[in-house]
Chains A and B, each alone.
Chain A
Amino acid sequence: MKYVDEFRAPELISKAGEEIRRLADPKRHYRIMEVCGGHTHAIYRFGLKDLLPENVELIHGPGCPVCVLPMGRIDDGLSLTAEPEFIFAAFGDMMRVPGTHGSPLEYKARGMDVRIVYSPADALKLARLNPQKHVVFFAIGFETTAPSTALTIIRAKAEGLRNFSVFCNHVTIIPAIRAILDSPDMRLDGFVGPGHVSTVIGCRPYEWIAKDQGKPVVVSGFEPLDILQSIVMLLRQLRDGQAIVENQYKRVVPWEGNPAALRAMAEVFELRPYFEWRGLGFISQSALKIRAAYAEWDSEQRFTVPGVRVTDPKAAQCGEVLKGVLKPSQCKLFGRECTPEQPVGALMVSSEGSCAAHYNYSQHRPVTIAAAASL
């Protein structure tokens, strides 16, 4: 297997760019939201904006799980590290996300037992290896990671492992899209649908966006050509006055999703009545909580957490950026008080956050697809 051949098919990329320019009606302004943080990263990294005409605007969506988590949840999770018998385990993405009294990494530096794990199954393994301790797994993510957490909880129960619990912050993508569409200051023409979330949930859950809201959705892969082709598909629908769900990423995304993953989620999780999203506020039925049958493995049902609500630093405009109302560089703190090295808001922490992507790629673009395509 050969991995490295740089951008494939630069001629196709350049054709897709031409097709976009041909399809875009100069009298219209198109606002297309890419929901997934992975797409945001790709769009910046490849400089795809440079291939689009000015009236085709990409709006970055809420699909970065680290970015949408309110600071209060981080504080609540970290509050459990106060007891020496606790081990706090989380993905590496979480480690530099600031809480009120510091990030998980800073807690670790102060002597709390904070561990990076790459899989929820490894948090469970930590519990097996440390029977005298209690391992709290700080779970985050959309439907790409939620099934793995669910199955880990099922395995913990089957094993009867009681020194393990999950502080569950899993969120679901559909209610976030609904909240954005309901937001009065938001006007969108269509969506580039998330790729890997859709391997789990399939394409059906997006159908209401097309049917009820009249907005086209194209589930997309992550290569420059995938994203450009998805924009072509969206513009064709818009030209024809059509609104349907299309699957550009058929090679990986089955229309019906992954039934075993959906089953595991349904077994362990139920919807929370509401959950706070950074920037979007409280969204009803937008997050997952652990069912009573698995209460033993739910940190929140088993232990007392303060239930902190923290407002973001006033000057930071994470919310407006998350909703796509402001561009990252229009935030007062961008690139000054808030940088990837010293992040104030979570959008600057994760490589999928639009602020970090904007910061890393907009001035000095290491990979510019526009350059490759013009060859």
Chain B
Amino acid sequence: MCLAIPGKIVEIDARNAQQATVDVVGVRRKVDLGLLAEESIRPGDWVLIHVGFAMSKISEAEAADQMHTLMILGESAAALEEVEGYGLENEYPPSEYPARSNRGVIS
């Protein structure tokens, strides 16, 4: 909760510019961009995510850095579990999950 998760913006929601799809090592979920109103966020940008909300725009190198931090802290599995849970997607049968890309391995 206290540690931020880095993700790459894949797509801004066409109907709602405050929602975007992020990719966190292959897991794609919706996050809220409402707390980054000052920044112009575009696909390809990297952000730090806390509890489903993008909180800061960062560089790709910083994103790699943060993923490394989570990994050596032993928190990457918990971070991935958090991201996978966004959108209540672990509450419903897997058949109802949206398609996901190949998941990378981070630990």
Spell out A's residues near B (CB within 8 Å). Answer: 1-8, 36-38, 41-42, 45-46, 63-65, 91-93, 115-122, 125-126, 129, 141-142, 144-145, 147-148, 151, 155, 194, 196-197, 199-200, 221-224, 251-252, 254, 258-261, 263-264, 351-352, 366-367
Q: Which of A115, A118, A252 has the most CB of B within 10 A?
A: A118
- Residues of chain A within 8 A (CB-CB) of B107 are 4
Seed contacts A38-B2, A117-B85; 9 additional CB < 8 Å A-B pairs: A1-B60, A4-B107, A92-B82, A118-B81, A121-B52, A129-B88, A144-B50, A260-B36, A367-B72
Closest to A46 in B: B72
CA distance A193 to B25 in the complex (A): 29
- Residues of chain A within 8 A (CB-CB) of B34 are 151, 155, 260, 264
Contact B65 A199 (CB under 8 A): no
Contact A223 B55 (CB under 8 A): no
Name the interface residues of B1-54: CB closer than 8 Å to any CB of A. 1-4, 25, 32, 34-38, 48, 50-53
User: Which of A3, A125, A259 is in CB contact (< 8 Å) with B67?
Assistant: A3
Closest to B62 in A: A251
Contact A117 B69 (CB under 8 A): no
Contact A4/B52 with A36-B2, A118-B85, A121-B32 known, Cβ cut-off 8 Å: no
- Residues of chain B within 8 A (CB-CB) of A221 are 69
User: Which of B52, B56, B67 is in CB contact (< 8 Å) with A148?
Assistant: B52
* Distance between B36 CB and nearest chain A CB, rounded to angstroms: 6
CA distance A205 to B62 in the complex (A): 25
CA distance A30 to B91 in the complex (A): 49
Closest to A264 in B: B35
Contact A37 B2 (CB under 8 A): yes
CA distance A145 to B50 in the complex (A): 7
* Distance between B66 CB and nearest chain A CB, rounded to angstroms: 8
Contact A116 B35 (CB under 8 A): no
Contact A260 B1 (CB under 8 A): no
Closest to A257 in B: B56
Contact A118 B55 (CB under 8 A): no
User: Which of B37, B51, B72 is in CB contact (< 8 Å) with A223?
Assistant: B72
* Distance between B67 CB and nearest chain A CB, rounded to angstroms: 5
* Distance between A169 CB and nearest chain B CB, rounded to angstroms: 13
Contact B2 A148 (CB under 8 A): no
Name the interface residues of B63-107: CB closer than 8 Å to any CB of A. 63-69, 71-76, 81-83, 85-88, 91, 106-107
CA distance A34 to B48 in the complex (A): 22
User: Which of B2, B62, B71, B83 is in CB contact (< 8 Å) with A144?
Assistant: B2
A-B contact pairs, 23 of them (CB 8 A): A1-B60, A1-B63, A1-B64, A3-B76, A41-B73, A91-B1, A118-B52, A118-B82, A119-B51, A120-B52, A129-B88, A145-B50, A148-B35, A151-B34, A196-B3, A196-B48, A197-B2, A199-B56, A258-B36, A258-B38, A258-B56, A260-B36, A260-B37
* Distance between A18 CB and nearest chain B CB, rounded to angstroms: 22
CA distance A65 to B37 in the complex (A): 27
Closest to A200 in B: B55
* Distance between A149 CB and nearest chain B CB, rounded to angstroms: 9
- Residues of chain B within 8 A (CB-CB) of A259 are 38
Closest to A2 in B: B64
Shortest Cβ-Cβ A-B pairs, 4 listed: A119-B52, A118-B85, A260-B37, A148-B53
* Distance between A67 CB and nearest chain B CB, rounded to angstroms: 11
CA distance A136 to B14 in the complex (A): 30
Contact B52 A199 (CB under 8 A): no
Contact A148 B32 (CB under 8 A): yes
CA distance A6 to B68 in the complex (A): 8
CA distance A65 to B2 in the complex (A): 9
Contact B88 A63 (CB under 8 A): no
User: Which of A144, A147, A151, A264 is in CB contact (< 8 Å) with B1?
Assistant: A144
* Distance between A107 CB and nearest chain B CB, rounded to angstroms: 17
Closest to A150 in B: B35
Closest to A39 in B: B2
Closest to A145 in B: B51
CA distance A78 to B71 in the complex (A): 34
Contact A115/B55 with A196-B2, A222-B3, A222-B73 known, Cβ cut-off 8 Å: no
